[in-house]
Amino acid sequence: MQYKDDKLLQQSSYGELYAELYQRYASVLFAYVYQHLSSREDAEDIVLSVFLSVLQNQQFPTFDEQKQEAWLWTITRNKTVDHLRRSTRRPQVSLEWFSEPLYADDGGSPEQISLAREEYRQLAGAVHQLPALQQEVLRLRFGHGLNSDEIGAVVEKSGSAVRMLLHRTLRLLRTIYKNQAEHR
């Protein structure tokens, strides 16, 4: 009888683990997927599929917290890429996450708001000129707040390679942005 009680207790704690994981990561994973897809329903389906993969992976509860998070991000990224490949459309990156800080202070004058919007358009245009991997690394770092090692787990690169990629991406973005400013 002890074995059944232990198994019940273990299943209960796993259930709590899965519920906590869903509460903690579902919204950020959804935001990540939704930025890549044009359909809210497809993004919800992919996030659901990620958590079904978690339930199917019997080793998942034995991972430490950092490995669990990296695994979630990696599976989410892979399922998003698979969806884009299957849909045979060209992937587009939404840059709505840039606009939030610019419009947070609506108390400015109309001139300030107009200047901020113009700067946003220029920055969004510069980011669109970057390769897809560099756009994704920027989004994961600044949009989702992941560190280099966490980004590395998602894009399958080492933390040091991600740091170098971020450095080069920001330098290239500065160059593109300055060139746009000079041509105005």
pLDDT, tens digit, 9 for 90 and up, residues 117-133: 888 788 788 888 888 88
pTM: 0.52
For residues 107 and 88, give the distance between their C-alpha atoms in angstroms, rounded to a whole number: 44
CATH code of residue 10? 1.10.1740
Among candidate residues 87, 117, 133, the one where a domain is terminated:
87
pLDDT at position 73 is 92
Contact status, residue 21 vs residue 70, Cβ threshold 8 Å: no
Note whether 122 and 60 are same-domain residues. Answer: no
What's the total number of domains in the chain? Answer: 2
* One domain, residues 81 and 101: no
The CATH number that applies at residue 143 is 1.20.140.160
Separation of alpha carbons 136 and 182, rounded Å: 27
Are residues 151 and 79 located together in one domain of the fold? Answer: no
Q: Tell me: do 101 and 175 sit in the same domain.
A: yes
Position 75 scores a pLDDT of: 93
Same-domain pairing of 78 and 100: no
Asked if residue 81 and residue 105 are part of one domain, the reply reads no
Q: Are residues 76 and 101 in the same domain?
A: no
The last residue of a domain, from among 48, 68, 87? 87
Integer Rg of the chain from CA: 20
pLDDT at 7 over 50: no
75 and 117 share one domain: no
The C-alpha atoms of residue 18 and residue 68 are separated, in whole angstroms, by 11
Judgement on whether residues 100 and 83 belong to the same structural domain of the protein = no
Q: Whose structure tokens read 């080069």?
A: 168
Per-residue pLDDT of 50-109, as tens digits, reads 998 888 888 888 888 888 888 999 999 999 988 888 875 544 445 454 555 544 555 567
Same structural domain, 33 and 103: no
State the SS3 of 80-124: HHHHHHHHCCCCCCCCHHHHHHHCCCCCCCHHHHHHHHHHHHHHH
Q: Which amino acid is at 179?
A: N
**59 with 127, same domain?**
no
Predicted local distance difference test score (pLDDT) of residue 168: 92
Q: Are residues 148 and 159 in contact, defined by beta-carbon separation less than 8 angstroms?
A: yes
pLDDT in tens, 158-169: 989 999 999 999
Same domain flag for 14 and 83: yes
Contact 94, 39 (CB under 8 A): no
pLDDT of 16 reads 80
Domain of 24, in residue numbers: 2-87
* Contact predicate 154/70, CB 8 Å: yes
